[in-house]
Amino acid sequence: MALAVKAAEAGHRVLFMTLDRLVSTLMSARQENRLERQLRQLTYPNVLVLDEMDYLPMTREEASLFFLLINRRYERASTTLTSNKSFMD
């Protein structure tokens, strides 16, 4: 979170959301035939922070949409993934 705050203070566009909210947003966009528009909006911020990684399991379709977004952001913008789970869990 501190990274996102510092990025925003430096004038960068920052978006913070949970992975669950992201997946719900992408699934809704796909169902409403506006996935491309939603992907553009989520690619726009310089920094995207996704919280609660590995908190809930994803279906194959959800994982596919998540990968699609990460692929779009690759080499264009920063994406930070956070989790409260330890490596031992």
Query: Is the residue at 45 inside a domain?
Result: yes
CATH number for the domain spanning 67: value is 3.40.50.300
Q: What pLDDT, on the 0 to 100 scale, is given for residue 53? A: 78
Residue ranges of alpha helices (H) inside 10-76 are 19-31, 35-43, 60-73
In a domain, 88, yes or no: no
3 state SS of 55? coil
For the chain, give the mean pLDDT. Answer: 91
pTM of structure: 0.86
Residue 23: is its pLDDT beyond 70?
Answer: yes
| Res 88: pLDDT | 65
The model's pLDDT over 26-58, given as tens digits with 9 standing for 90+, comes to 999 999 999 999 999 999 999 999 998 777 789
Record the tokens describing residue 57, joined without a space.
Answer: 């399991």
- Give domain status of residue 89, yes or no: no
Q: Whole domain around residue 9: which residue ranges?
A: 2-81
Do the domain assignments include residue 52? yes
Question: Which DSSP category does 16 fall into?
Answer: E
Euclidean distance between CA atoms 72 and 84, whole angstroms: 26
Strand order in the sheet with 78-81: 14-18, 47-51, 78-81
> How many domains does the chain contain in total?
1
In this structure, is residue 11 part of a structural domain?
Answer: yes
Beta-bridge partners for 87: none
Answer whether residue 9 is part of any domain. Answer: yes
